[in-house]
Amino acid sequence: MSYGTTIGKEKFSSFEFDIMEEFTKDVARVLENAWLYLNLRETSHELQRANEKLRQLDHLKDDFVSVASHELRTPMTAIRSYAWMALHRSDVPLSKTMEKYIARILISTERLINLVNDMLNVSRIESGRIEINPEPVDLLSLAKDIADELYFSKSPEKKVEFVVLEKPIPKVLADPDKLRQIFLNLVGNSLKFTPTGGKIVFDFFTDGKVVETSVSDNGVGMSKEDLSKLFSKFGR
């Protein structure tokens, strides 16, 4: 950009210089804004491309977790079944050492199956593919079934007592499989931190319309640091 007089060699006045200076500043701001806009648009396009790539990778991750979970559950379920049969239905007498080893195989396999189920559930929830099939559920019966199942499968080693406080409560409308998984997660977590000879208690409170469920134990509890991770994936 250049400036010049239109009449002879007359010099610019101070007023004209001020006008040209302001005009030059305005042009500079326009050019700077244009450059920033172009740079911002290119950055935005790069972010969109990166975001799309992340979505694709996340989709691949979900597919991998789903497939891997299904593929892992089949052999692990077979291992658990045969270990349980060897421990409880074997025609061959087992030594105390062998019983201990098979019991550990059974417990470790169940933990691995639960971990795989958690991974699969998280993947389904995050991808919006989880299905809820509500029906009337008797919480007391469900709690008793879970208490019996966990008592015979996990409690003998730690001698943990399960208590279901029976109260007159209405049935709830919920997905029984999802509700069962929630109970198993809560009680499984309690078992990890309940000492030998401890107690895990199922309790229920209702106003006649809504039922509140409590699973409590006499374990070590949670620190403030653990509370911050309470709702994190795979957190305690």
Same CATH fold assignment for domains 8-130 and 135-227: no
pLDDT in the model for residue 136: 93
**What are the structural domain ranges in the chain?**
8-130, 135-227
Percent of the chain with pLDDT over 70: 89
CA atoms within 13 A on the CB side of 217: 21
* Selected residue with higher pLDDT from 123 and 45: 45
By the 8 A CB rule, do 176 and 142 touch? yes
Pick one of 1.10.10.10, 3.50.50.60, 1.20.210.10, 1.10.287.130 as the CATH number of 8-130: 1.10.287.130
* Model confidence pLDDT, tens digit, residues 9-19: 667 677 777 77
* Other Cβ atoms within 10 Å of 200 Cβ, number: 23
Sign of the CA dihedral 144, 148, 150, 155?
A: positive
Q: Which two tokens stand for residue 124?
A: 């389904």
Q: Nearest-CA neighbor of 84 among 56, 113, 46?
A: 113
Mean pLDDT, the chain, whole residue set: 81
Model confidence pLDDT, tens digit, residues 138-168: 999 998 888 887 776 665 566 778 888 888 9
CATH superfamily, domain 135-227, is Histidine kinase-like ATPase, C-terminal domain (3.30.565.10)
pLDDT tops 60 at residue 6: no
* Closest to 123 measured CA to CA, from 72, 178, 66: 66
Q: State the Cα–Cα distance between residues 132 and 78, nearest whole angstrom.
A: 27
